[in-house]
Amino acid sequence: MSRPDRLPVRDSLALMSGYHSPQLDVAVRLNTNESPVPPPDGWAKALRAAQAQIDWHRYPDRGAHELRAALAEHERVAPEQVFAANGSNEVLQCLLLAFGGPGRTALTFEPTYALHSHIARLAATEVVAGERLEDFSLDADYAADMVSEHRPAVTFLCSPNNPTGMVEPPDTVERLLAEVSALPGLLLMDEAYGQFDSHTAVDLVDESRSLAVARTYSKTWSMAAARLGYLIAPSWVVAELDKATLPYHLDAFKQIAGRLALAYGQQMRDRVASLVGERERIAAALDGLPVEQWASGANFILFRPCSGDGEGVWQGLVERSVLVRNCSSWPRLDGCLRVTVGTPSENDAFLSALSEVLT
């Protein structure tokens, strides 16, 4: 398809490519860190009943007040400290529309979640990429120096980190929070996988701190199809995000789905415990194979075949109808693959296929 030469995109967008995960027809799909099991039957039944009460000819609650109130109760914060959006990616987009933009900088520490830098650039925000250590941990002194030198408007810290799975020590979080607050700036803690670890920065959120914590329904709540995420932050941050979002951006069905899910917190915690157990079983099995792996606090494990041929191993797994994430093209991840923790039978299929490919 041809396009008129007179309608170019802006220069900062011209060389960018989108962020996509392969969607292949395989028996075992372990590449996008989804929950391997659906939400509880009780939630689905309650959602069907609630759907019948929606006034489809009316716009939804623009402020998503009931959903925010339910999330506030769940996270033990005030409703005005909660922002909800279409997945945590829209949360990040609104945050960068409000606090990023031309003349401002976002700081990341690579390797980390690719959408942090991608969305920042979409919002015309300059990205400065800091580096993690050889083992992918983050040196707190170095990170603090990067904040001091580049004075970012938004500093991103992902814990557990995607794609490495590593958890940031609370002391590192406190150190960076103090540094960005002195600028002033904002620290965004991405806790998309936060429920898989015992630490959370939500406990640090208050009105006097420049801290925001992003979470999602996609992983532990088994609701990736709903595309629902939220932010816990001081009310003054949330107020600015409300200005940056489009009117009625959260539909009525999604608001109800998110609110009803919170009634099934124990089932969510049970799923998390089961996945953590399976993650440790996979890690133990990987110890017996010719791969290097990194300790994970999430629902996935990053590993690298000792042969260095991540592409070949990935293709071998696909040929055996197992799909994992090929991270070889990501910064500093040559030859690396990432496997999502699935059901016990899916994990068995992965380990069996991987053993065949590697031997």
Per-residue pLDDT tens digits for 165-181: 999 999 999 999 999 99
* pLDDT more than 90, % of the chain: 91
Same fold, 22-39+266-358 and 53-263: no
pLDDT of 7 > 80? The answer is no
pLDDT given for residue 8 in this prediction? 72
If one compares 304 and 19, the residue with the highest pLDDT of the two is 304
pLDDT of 66 > 60? The answer is yes
Q: Strand pairing of 28-30 and 82-85? A: unpaired
Q: Could you tell me the pLDDT band of residue 17, with boundaries at 50, 70 and 90?
A: low
Per-residue pLDDT tens digits for 200-241: 999 999 999 999 999 999 999 999 999 999 999 999 999 999
End-to-end, the C-alpha distance of the chain in Å comes to: 46
For residues 333-338, average pLDDT:
96
pLDDT given for residue 13 in this prediction? 66
Q: Could you tell me the pLDDT band of residue 24, with boundaries at 50, 70 and 90?
A: confident
CATH placement of domain 53-263: 3.40.640.10
Per-residue pLDDT tens digits for 231-288: 999 999 999 999 999 999 999 999 999 999 999 999 999 999 999 999 999 999 999 9
- Strand, helix or coil at 168? coil
Per-residue pLDDT tens digits for 102-126: 999 999 999 999 999 999 999 999 9
* Domain coordinates in residue numbering, the chain: 22-39+266-358, 53-263
For residues 302-323, average pLDDT:
97
Q: Answer yes or no: are the C-beta atoms of 300 and 163 closer than 8 Å.
A: yes
Report the top-level CATH class of 22-39+266-358: alpha beta
Order of all β-strands in the sheet with 337-340: 28-30, 322-326, 337-340, 300-305, 291-293
pTM of the entire structure?
A: 0.93
